[in-house]
Chain A
Amino acid sequence: MTRIGRLFENLKRSGGKGLIAYITAGDPTPEHTPALVEALERGGADLIELGVPFSDPIADGPVIQRAGERALRAGTTLRKVLDIAREVRRRSEIPLLLFTYLNPVLRYGLEALAKDAAASGIDGCLLTDASVEEAGEYVRIMRAAGLDTVFLAAPTSSPRRQRLVAQYSSGFVYLVSHTGVTGERETLSDAVGPLVRSMRSITELPLAVGFGISRPEHVAELGQQVEAVVVGSAIMHLIERNLDNPSLEVQLESFARELKHGFEMAKAGAHRP
């Protein structure tokens, strides 16, 4: 079992919920990323998605697009992201999930990546544009190296597709809260409730919800329905506003803490709909 599996077992035992923090590795530079990951962990993040920048991120909104452009300009490559993971691993056991698009992975080579990622302390991988139909070989190779493969389910996914996504996923299933690209939103979409209920009837795997979640109140609301929530663009937006600010790490830590506090708000019943 990977660190991801153990995380969700521990959460289940303790009755807790997980905060998943997405960060574009290499923004503003690859050298910064380990410290930013550690700040998020100190603030209460339970799992880190390490985004590997890609030149053509069709699933991402403007904030993560810009983060990726900065990271690419700073010379970030998949190989460097594995170095970042190794660096984080020297001090931390936080689960790490690679989050990227298929082409950089194909170019690196599936076998080589599985071997190198596992050796770098990566626990799993999510490829935004790898549909389950195209993912057979990838899943086989990653699993053989002891890595989890996380897939997305969307509000548009038919029941047949939801079953396929559950079958191909390990660690957890990532539910997309609304149809659209990544990015902060004022309010949560009501499309996710039916998707959560439907996935519950299909799989025992833990469920995480992401896309558009940017505030403690969102975390509070979703925390009642799923095991974990993912925050990405709001984190990258904070980084973007503080690229040269020496207090960036402190701010990230306190933002993670606020988000994590959302789960407590939910427990206290403050935001029961």
Chain B
Amino acid sequence: MTPQPDAGGHFGSYGGRYVPEVLMSPLEELERAFCEAREDPAFHAELDELLHTYAGRPTPLYFARRLTQTLGGARIYLKREDLLHTGAHKINNCLGQVLIARRMGKKRVIAETGAGQHGVATATVCALFGLECVVYMGEEDMRRQRLNVFRMRLLGAKVVAVSNGSRTLKDAISEAMRDWVTNVATTHYLLGSALGSHPYPLMVREFHKVMGEEARAQIQQAEQRLPDAVFACVGGGSNAIGIFHAFIPDRSVGLIGVEAGGRSARLGEHAARFSGGSPGVLQGARSYLLQDENGQVSLTHSVSAGLDYALVGPEHAWLHDTGRAEYVSIGDRQALDAARMLSQTEGIIPALESAHAVAEAASRASQAKGQVFVVNLSGRGDKDIDIYRENFRELDS
């Protein structure tokens, strides 16, 4: 079972294309460009070279010895995407899409960003290829991720503050879509997660599946067997789908996606779409959505900007309904505690997003003696230092 969407981009009844008519032909054009590139050995050669020499692939699969000892159960491995250039997995997709944009002759690239990691990765590849770059970011996210705002500007990108709605990722995506609708002839929308209309969820997965392919080979090398479970955090779901994909045919491998449980299970206080949402349509795709009884999209909350979004990527909805993957949520406090534990047992400060996956793996480890866990450490925590300081005041005197 290796999932491919149907011709309309549907994973089961999820995904599809729900956009204003203005964008339909451009999406068809993008799909053609992506499909042609996918068949072109020269495209793959250039992308592989960039991933290797510029981004730093392959990333290590690291055995977390002290974390494993501390928890006293499963043997825990970390897929070190945090070591990639720009500090997170996002660069994989950005390098792929910027090559597509160049094939399509687009001179201007726009993107949305939540935590700022995708914005930084987009600004980076635009600098690398000499393209104009505009990044939309919610005002609330700009406040809590100030360092990344500056990094984007230093890289030559224009960062546009979005003050609508919840002033977070969802509103940044809406504003980027409005820009794309207006400037579609010259502009490529470099969407940063496995979200939006076909071909984006498929394309973003294809550019991130290298994580799972590497991890699958590396764990077999290290343990002479497949892992029992693979953990990844799920906002839109790009790092999760990227590491899950290669393991989907391996029925013995549990795939565990970790959403943001936020402050509580009350609507508006979390971003747990599977436990708190229902199927709906937002920003181009059908999937599990946090919404009220009138079909208005709910506000969400997470301490981690990258998980703070009302819709989950459509392929995850399908993996959920088919039972192939399991989705759970981890609250703000547990994620913060897991970040501190990983910092002090392994000397690795994780991104808050990735700390959600670490927390879930840690919570299961003691009951899983003899098992092997792989956790996707999708990003590093430099960008979250201000939030860690706010939450660990006793360390900051």
Contact = CB atoms under 8 A, between A and B. Distances in A.
Contacts of B26: 156
Contacts of B20: 58-59, 128-129, 152, 154, 176
A128 to B, nearest CB: 6
Given A78-B294, A129-B18, A133-B16, A103 B185 contact: no
Interface string B153-164: 000000000001
A55 B165 contact: yes
Interface string A125-165: 00011110110000000000000000111111110010001
B282 A56 contact: yes
A72 B22 contact: no
B184 A161 contact: no
A170 interface: no
Interface stretch (A1-9, A30-38, A105-113, A243-251): A105-113
Interface string A40-71: 00000000000000111111010001000000
Contact of A61 (B18, B21, B24, B178): B178
B280 A181 contact: no
Contacts of A181: 178, 181-182
B19 A104 contact: no
Contact of A102 (B18, B28, B296): B18
Contact of A156 (B17, B165, B184, B282): B184
A180 interface: yes
B164 A65 contact: yes
Contacts of B281: 101-103, 106, 129
Nearest to A130: B18
B89 interface: no
Contacts of A120: none
Contact of A103 (B21, B184, B297): B297
B170 A56 contact: yes
B354 to A, nearest CB: 27
Nearest to A129: B18
B295 interface: yes
B174 interface: yes
Among B19, B20, B164, chain A packs the most CB atoms within 10 A around the CB of: B20
Among A72, A128, A133, chain B packs the most CB atoms within 10 A around the CB of: A133
A103 B280 contact: yes
A161 B178 contact: no
Given A59-B20, A156-B22, A161-B21, A54 B296 contact: yes
A198 interface: no
Contacts of B28: 158
A29 B306 CA distance: 35
Given A156-B184, A179-B22, A179-B181, A56 B16 contact: no
Nearest to B28: A158
Interface in B183-205: 183-185
A225 interface: no
Interface in B1-60: 8, 16-26, 28
A165 B295 contact: no
B394 interface: no
Interface residues of B, number: 37
A128 B182 CA distance: 15
Nearest to B17: A131
The prevalent SS among residues of B at the interface is mixed
Contacts of A101: 281
A59 B22 CA distance: 9
A254 interface: no
Contacts of B182: 179-181
Contacts of B283: 56, 58
Among A79, A153, A156, chain B packs the most CB atoms within 10 A around the CB of: A156
B17 A134 contact: yes
A77 interface: yes
B19 A55 contact: no
Contact of A131 (B21, B164, B185): B21
B25 A152 contact: no
Among B164, B281, B291, chain A packs the most CB atoms within 10 A around the CB of: B281
Contacts of B184: 156, 179
Nearest to A75: B294
A190 B87 CA distance: 46
B293 interface: yes
Contacts of A156: 21-26, 184
Interface string B164-182: 1100001100100110011
Contact of B294 (A61, A102, A107, A157): A107
B82 to A, nearest CB: 32
Interface in B275-300: 280-284, 289, 291, 293-297
B295 A56 contact: no
Contacts of A61: 178
Interface string B231-257: 000000000000000000000000000
A182 to B, nearest CB: 10
B18 A107 contact: no
Contact of A154 (B16, B18, B21): B21
Contacts of B293: 107
Contacts of B297: 55-56, 103
B22 A104 contact: no
B280 A56 contact: no
Contacts of B8: 133-134
A101 B16 CA distance: 15
Top 8 closest pairs, chain A to chain B, by CB = A107-B295, A104-B295, A154-B22, A180-B182, A152-B21, A55-B296, A77-B294, A55-B297
13 contacts: A59-B178, A59-B181, A79-B294, A104-B295, A107-B291, A131-B18, A131-B19, A134-B18, A156-B23, A157-B22, A161-B25, A179-B183, A179-B184
Given A128-B20, A133-B16, 13 more contacts: A58-B20, A61-B178, A65-B164, A103-B280, A103-B297, A105-B295, A108-B295, A129-B19, A129-B281, A130-B18, A154-B22, A161-B25, A180-B22
Interface of A: 54-59, 61, 65, 72, 77-79, 101-108, 128-131, 133-134, 151-158, 161, 165, 176, 179-181
